[in-house]
Structure 1
C-alpha cells in the first residue's frame, strides 16, 4: 500500500488452489491483471470485478419490466402498492437459477414479480471476477405502483 491505496504487484491464490492471479496497481487502480487457471489459458484484464448486467443496461431492464409486468387484479382492486424483492443467481453463461421472493407485498404481486424476473432468462451478461465469468447472487426490486 502507498497512501492507503494498492500500489505495485499483488498476487494471490484461491483457497481451493483453482487458479493464481497477479495484478498491477498504480495509485489504487488496476492497470493490468492476469489469472492463470490449471489446464486453461491465461486471461488478461484491467477490471478486477464487474457485476452482472442486463443486456442493454438498466434502461433496457426497466423497459422490459414495464412491458411484461402485469398488475395482479386483486392487488389493483385493493390498491396494494410497494416493492417486491426477487433474489436469483446469474450463472457463468448468463442463465438464471434459484429465483425466489425475499420480501413481498402479497396479493399476487410476489408471484408476478417472480414470473417476470424468470422471463429475463438469457438476457443477462454474467459477472466477471479477475477476467473470468462467475456465478453471482442478485436481488432485484420490482415496483408495483398504481397510476
Structure 2
C-alpha cells in the first residue's frame, strides 16, 4: 500500500510540475514575420479628390456612339502606386467600352500620386478608382 501511495504521489508531483505557466503576452505575435502593420498614410493623388476627378473627366472625349449609347455605368480601374510614387500594373476591372476606359487610364498615368506609408516606410499599394460615366445623345 505504501508503494502504491508513493507511486501515485510521484505521478501527481510530476504531472503538476510538468504544467507550463504561460507568461507569453497573447496580444503580441510570436512570429517576427507577422508583425503589427500600421499604415500612417494610404497611396493617394497629391491634390484633392475633386481635382483628380475633374482632370479625368476633362480628358475624356466621348464619341458619338458613346453619346448615343446613353451609358449609365462606372469604370473601375486598379493600379499600383510604387514606393517612389510611380504608377504601374493598370487593370480595367470594369469598363464601359467606346475607348472611354483607355482614356481614363491614360489620364491617370499622367497624374502624380503619393505612395503609402507603412511603419514609417514608403511602400507599394494597390489603388482602386471608380469613375461614374453618364452619357446621353444631347452632350
Same fold, TM exceeding 0.5? yes
Q: What is the CA–CA distance in structure 1 between the aligned matches of 2:30 and 2:64, rounded to whole Å? A: 54
Query: Per residue, is there more helix in 1 or in 2?
Result: 2
1:8-27 correspondence to structure 2 within 5 Å: 15=33
Change (3 A) 1:67 1:110: closer
Q: Which runs of 4+ in 1 moved over 4 A?
A: 10-14
| Kept in 2: contact 1:71–1:144 (CA 8 A) | no
Change (3 A) 1:11 1:128: farther
What TM-score does the superposition give when structure 2 sets the normalisation length?
Answer: 0.65
Q: What is the CA–CA distance in structure 2 between the aligned matches of 1:127 and 1:80, rounded to whole Å? A: 34
What stretches of structure 2 of length at least 5 have no aligned partner? 1-27
Deviation of residue 73 (structure 1)? Answer: 3.4
Q: For residue 55 of structure 2, what is the aligned residue in structure 1?
A: 64
1:101-112 correspondence to structure 2 within 5 Å: 101-112=92-103
Higher RCO (Cα < 8 Å, 6 or more apart): 2
Deviation of residue 137 (structure 1)? Answer: 0.8
What TM-score does the superposition give when structure 1 sets the normalisation length?
Answer: 0.62
Q: For residue 124 of structure 2, what is the aligned residue in structure 1?
A: 135
Change (3 A) 1:12 1:51: farther
The alignment's C-alpha RMSD in Å is 2.7
What stretches of structure 1 of length at least 5 have no aligned partner? 1-9, 24-47
